Amino acid sequence: MIQSSWTILHVRRPDLLIFAILLSTLALFWSPLAAVASLSVQDDRNIEIVLGPVLCLFLLYRERAKIFSIARFSPGFGIPPLLLAVLLSLVLLRYPASGDRSRSLPAAILAVILVWTAAFVLCYGTRSFMAALFPFCCLFLMVPVPTAWMDGISVALEHGSADVSYALLRLIGIPVFRQGMRFSLPGLDVEVAPECSGIRACLVFVMMAILMSRVYLRSNSRRWALVLMTIPIAIFKNAVRIVILSSLSVYVNRAILDSPLHHRGGPVFALIGVAIFVPLLYALQKSEIRSTGPLTERRLGVKAIV
């Protein structure tokens, strides 16, 4: 009975400690955390700020047996980096970067993530942390990307969508004259605006690829291939959307450009990307199984997507 009670206390104490540290950081750093959450709501180009911690928590829960079965309270490894991370966070809160929120906010969020990481090492040890390294890397998606970088990504996706749209229009035989981002179709001029870059859909696809690659693939090269391939998939999906809306407006009804299909039809056209993404994931998984063999498949517990 004494041994059983000690074991229960020994297991629960790190959980209570890390929960207390989490609540403390939420209280101390509420201002930057609320600011970054507000940023993700105000600008849908920062949707990864919200999805990053959700992805981290999901993967921690899914891989909990592997992560926490080797957990060990490690004050020697955890307390020094935790104190340094807390000190860094307090300094950044007290002396922000020249009052520039765009510079101080990423640094503050990065410091908070370092506090959480050090707290995990303290409560569960280095071996558990190494097992949880991939989920913890997802936390860094909370760090806001500089606006100039995000603008550059949006412009690149916008031009990519315009290029593919023009090629598709020519391929299906619709007369089109292109001048920059403006397409001249029979009786209609269409412009690929910055709002049509599809950056939000691209970010969602990247998040989905990160999750699916972790769940269904074991090879790092195939994981990277899946994540990187989501970018051309998102561009192609966005180009198909532009072509369909433009074609319907020219040959069916001009009001299509102002219809709900245009303004709120993102989920409908997202099915095009999913229809490409799933076979790609299936092909990568099958190639991985062929290269490792059925014995390795059973030993690693590789799951099939179909």
Instruction: Provide the terminal-to-terminal Cα distance of the chain, rounded to the nearest Å.
Output: 48
> Exposed, middle or buried by CB within 10 Å (0-12, 13-18, 19+), for 127?
middle
Point out the domain boundary residue: 144, 159, 179. 144
State the average pLDDT for the chain.
82
What's the farthest any 2 CA atoms get from each other in the chain? 85
pLDDT score at 95: 64
User: Of 102 and 135, which is predicted with more confidence?
Assistant: 135
pLDDT score at 101: 56
What is the pTM assigned to this prediction?
A: 0.78
Asked whether residue 203 falls in the same domain as residue 92, the answer is no
pLDDT score at 102: 58
Asked whether residue 140 falls in the same domain as residue 279, the answer is no
* DSSP 8-class letter at 302: P
**What is the arithmetic mean of pLDDT over 10-25?**
77
Asked whether residue 71 falls in the same domain as residue 164, the answer is no
Structure tokens at 284: 């990568």
Residue 17 placed within a domain? yes
pLDDT score at 117: 92
175-189 pLDDT tens trace:
888 888 888 888 888
Asked whether residue 54 falls in the same domain as residue 105, the answer is yes
Asked whether residue 93 falls in the same domain as residue 168, the answer is no
| Burial per residue of 231-246, b for 16 or more beta-carbon CB atoms within 10 angstroms, e otherwise | bebbbbbbbbbbbbbb
Write the Ramachandran bin of 146: left for phi over 0, alpha for psi from -120 to 50, otherwise beta. Answer: beta
pLDDT score at 2: 41
29-53 pLDDT tens trace:
888 888 888 887 777 778 888 888 9
Asked whether residue 25 falls in the same domain as residue 56, the answer is yes
Above 50 in pLDDT, residue 291? yes
Structure tokens at 24: 């403390």
Asked whether residue 249 falls in the same domain as residue 133, the answer is no
Question: Residue 229's pLDDT band (boundaries 50, 70, 90)?
Answer: very high
Question: Residue 267's pLDDT band (boundaries 50, 70, 90)?
Answer: confident
pLDDT score at 97: 54
Question: Residue 55's pLDDT band (boundaries 50, 70, 90)?
Answer: very high
pLDDT score at 193: 76
Point out the domain boundary residue: 112, 144, 176. 144
Q: In the chain, how many domains are there?
A: 2
Residue 139 placed within a domain? yes
Residue 287 placed within a domain? yes
**Residue ranges making up the domain that contains 288:** 149-300
Residue 306 placed within a domain? no
Point out the domain boundary residue: 120, 144, 168. 144
Asked whether residue 289 falls in the same domain as residue 266, the answer is yes
Strands 188-191, 177-179: pairing kind: unpaired
Asked whether residue 112 falls in the same domain as residue 218, the answer is no
Above 50 in pLDDT, residue 299? no
CA 188 to chain centre: 37
Provide DSSP, 232-296.
Answer: HHHHHHHHHHHHHHHHHHHHT-GGGGGSHHHHS-HHHHHHHHHHHHHHHHHHHHHHHHHHHHHHH
